[in-house]
Amino acid sequence: MAKIGIFFGSTTEMTAIAGESIKNEFENYDHEIDLFDVGMVGLSPISNYKNIIIGCPTWNVGDLQDDWDMLYNDFKKIDFTNIVGAFFGAGDQMGYSYNYLDAVGILARAFTAGGGELIGTWPIDGYEFEESLAVEKNKFLGLALDYENQDSESEIRIKKWVHQINNEFK
């Protein structure tokens, strides 16, 4: 059993809903999960976890969601050595085809630059977009959700992703 902190930011609630689902799904695997809205708690609780999951939708054409945007400079300064981290995000692959899920790329790269061990990369098959900062070596750096265009896929993707990463936490 691992203790995992999920930290999300969300403006129109979709990433909040995804965070709840991820939490519920992990509870099937007997982990201890805490869920935080970074807009309410900031970053300080992160230091209580060796295992973190970060959720951030992309806003304003390639930007972080507002709460994450305000915290980004501090996020970049965190020493993530010995921390295992997974990322998820919501975006609109049709409406913002050149910036789909960029926020996941921005935060996941800051995490690995800070020494963190990234888990939970996700295949790009089944998505249609032109460019994304979240893609590296033909994979997303975290779980890619799209409530605008593929709403019905979201719960299935969450289940698969949680199953995929569930054993990788410490």
Ligand X SMILES: Cc1cc2nc3c(=O)[nH]c(=O)nc-3n(C[C@H](O)[C@H](O)[C@H](O)COP(=O)(O)O)c2cc1C
Q: Give me the residues that bind ligand X (CB under 6 A), please.
A: 10-15, 57-62, 65, 90-92, 96, 99-102, 147-148
Q: Please, which residue, 46 or 106, has the CB nearer to ligand X?
A: 106
Q: Please, which residue, 84 or 158, has the CB nearer to ligand X?
A: 158
The Cα 50–Cα 75 span in angstroms is 15
Cα of first residue to Cα of last residue in the chain, in angstroms, is: 8
In the complex, least distance from residue 62 CB atom to ligand X, rounded to whole angstroms: 5
The Cα 137–Cα 8 span in angstroms is 25
In the complex, least distance from residue 56 CB atom to ligand X, rounded to whole angstroms: 8
Alpha helical stretches, state H, the chain: 14-27, 38-41, 66-77, 102-113, 154-165
In the complex, least distance from residue 34 CB atom to ligand X, rounded to whole angstroms: 19
In the complex, least distance from residue 36 CB atom to ligand X, rounded to whole angstroms: 14
Q: Please, which residue, 149 or 166, has the CB nearer to ligand X?
A: 149
Residue nearest to ligand X (CB): 91
Decide if 37 contacts 6 (C-beta within 8 A): no
In the complex, least distance from residue 121 CB atom to ligand X, rounded to whole angstroms: 17
Q: Please, which residue, 15 or 150, has the CB nearer to ligand X?
A: 15
Q: Please, which residue, 66 or 117, has the CB nearer to ligand X?
A: 66
The amino acid at residue 126 is G
The Cα 165–Cα 86 span in angstroms is 8
Tell the burial category of 73 from Cβ atoms under 10 Å away from its Cβ (0-12, 13-18, 19+): exposed
Max CA distance (Å), the chain: 40
